[in-house]
Amino acid sequence: MDREEFTNFYAAAFGRLVGQLYAMTGDEAEAQDAVQEAFIRAWAHRSRIDKAGAPEAWVRVTAWRIAASRWRRARRGSALAALGPRPEQVDGPGPDRVAFIAALRKVPAEQRRALVLFHLCDLTVEQIATETGAPAGTVKARLARGRAVLAPYLTAEQSATPAR
Amino acid sequence: MPDLTSQLRAMADETAGRSRPIPADQLIGRGDRLRRGAVIRRAIAGAGAAGLVAAAVLAGTAGGAATGNGAVTAGGPASSRVLTLTATGREPDGTISLSVRYRDVARDRVKVLSVRYSGHCRVPASSFALAFVVRPVGGPTVGFSFVTPRGNPARFSGTLSRRFVRIINGKSGSMDSGISLSLQLDRPHRAPHVRKQALLTTGVVLDSLTY
């Protein structure tokens, strides 16, 4: 991946990945920082990405690990480093969205990750298993448990077992 | 009530719309620094195992740049540039400089063209020995050469023999990037003991800038 290809990839995928990470982490600033840091690492290790293929998945996995690592550090009381520009002040979400986000935050991190990969990134259970390193059965269980937590906010058809 | 997929998509789309990525050039610059830092850490780890205390990896843009105790200059087309990498080790006992001219022949492949060295040493001695060590970063030594500077031992300079340069490049005429070349000055000793009593050391890591 040369500089131009990487720049195009960065421009096309940054916002999408921030959205996905936000849904996984529940923290917009943290999601943006993690994705940005993941892109920096992606450029530094671009030859590795070329070999592995699927650069967007590589950045997403790396950003998730960065975010998870920061959670662990935060739990130990370390200060989080501010690496990039924080989002500007924006209009607040509506009541439904607030309730949904609040519910999403109640879902354990790995279950939330599985939900986002399945519903937002359109990955199959097998693909999620590959990306997360968990067995397919575990992924299905996480999806089911995650949906159970979110059940009050979902329509009836969403509580079905994943078919993909 | 909307379904989960549309809820997530709406939330992610809103967030994506608000995201403020840093400029690509800035991000790439930080990635380059991250990569150089990783190579330097590996070089120092490898050099430490061999008793070498100074190693520098330098990479820059065409036209020249300076970092740390050395500099790199590059010219020619990006696909096959000739770069000159220099590093200087400064100690109370003196100074030692290493300058490596190499061609960036392909991704992760470099070809050494010439190696020059110079320096001065304040430690009184009738003669010195220069040990030139070649090793992959973090790997074992793959080649070494010893040179006895002629003339005034306090001030020395010279060029490594073409024969040794050919040996460095190997049969294929080029080698993997990320190899470290280090130089150390010592009083004359047999090879196994030289590293333990180095007076001055310096080193460079040849990194391919072609991607």
Average pLDDT over every residue of A133-154: 87
- The pLDDT score that the predictor gives to residue A117 is 92
- The pLDDT score that the predictor gives to residue A163 is 46
- The answer, for B61 touching chain A at a CB cutoff of 8 Å, is no
Average pLDDT over every residue of A113-126: 90
Query: Is the pLDDT at A14 greater than 80, yes or no?
Result: yes
Question: If 0-12 CB within 10 Å is exposed, 13-18 middle and 19+ buried, where does residue B173 land?
Answer: exposed
Query: What average pLDDT is seen over chain A?
Result: 78
1.10.220.150, 1.10.1660.10, 3.50.50.60, 1.10.10.10: which CATH number matches A93-156? 1.10.10.10
Contacts of B12 in chain A (CB under 8 A): 16, 19-20, 22-23, 120
Q: Of B134, B128, B63, B125, nearest to B98 (Cα)?
A: B134
Contact state of A44 with B7 under an 8 Å Cβ cutoff? no
Q: b/e string for B37-59 if b means 16 or more Cβ within 10 A?
A: eebbebbbebbeebebbbbbbbb
- The answer, for B23 touching chain A at a CB cutoff of 8 Å, is no
Contact state of A120 with B27 under an 8 Å Cβ cutoff? no
Sign of CA pseudo-dihedral A105, A108, A109, A114: negative
What residue segments make up the domains of chain B, in order of their start? 4-206
Query: Is the pLDDT at A81 greater than 70, yes or no?
Result: no
Give the one of B13, B27, B34 whose C-beta lies nearest to A19's C-beta: B13
Give the one of B1, B5, B38 whose C-beta lies nearest to A153's C-beta: B1
- Token match 């480093």: residue? A81
Contact state of B4 with A46 under an 8 Å Cβ cutoff? no
Contact state of B12 with A16 under an 8 Å Cβ cutoff? yes
Task: Give the span between the Cα atoms of A164 and A140, in whole angstroms.
Answer: 10
Contacts of B78 in chain A (CB under 8 A): none
Q: In this predicted complex, what is the ipTM?
A: 0.72
Nearest C-alpha of chain B: how many angstroms from A56? 15
Q: Which CATH architecture has domain A1-76?
A: Orthogonal Bundle (1.10)
The SS3 assignment for B17 reads helix
Q: Of B144, B116, B132, B134, nearest to B186 (Cα)?
A: B132
> DSSP string of A77-145?
TPPPP--SPPPPP-PPPPHHHHHHHHHHHHS-HHHHHHHIIIIIS---HHHHHHHHT--HHHHHHHHHH
Specify the higher pLDDT residue, A11 or B156: A11
What is the value of pTM for the model shown? 0.50
Give the one of A3, A14, A155 whose C-beta lies nearest to B28's C-beta: A3
Tokens of B171: 């049969």
- The answer, for B12 touching chain A at a CB cutoff of 8 Å, is yes
Task: Give the span between the Cα atoms of B87 and B96, in whole angstroms.
Answer: 8
What residue segments make up the domains of chain A, in order of their start? 1-76, 93-156
Sign of CA pseudo-dihedral B50, B56, B59, B62: negative
Task: Give the span between the Cα atoms of B186 and B44, in whole angstroms.
Answer: 20
Out of A39-43, A81-85, A139-143, B23-27, least confident range: A81-85
User: Which H/E stretch holds residue B71?
Assistant: strand B70-75
- The pLDDT score that the predictor gives to residue B139 is 65
Regions of chain B short of the pLDDT cut 50: 1, 44-72, 74-78, 192-196, 211
A38 to chain B: closest CA residue: B31
Nearest C-alpha of chain A: how many angstroms from B125? 46
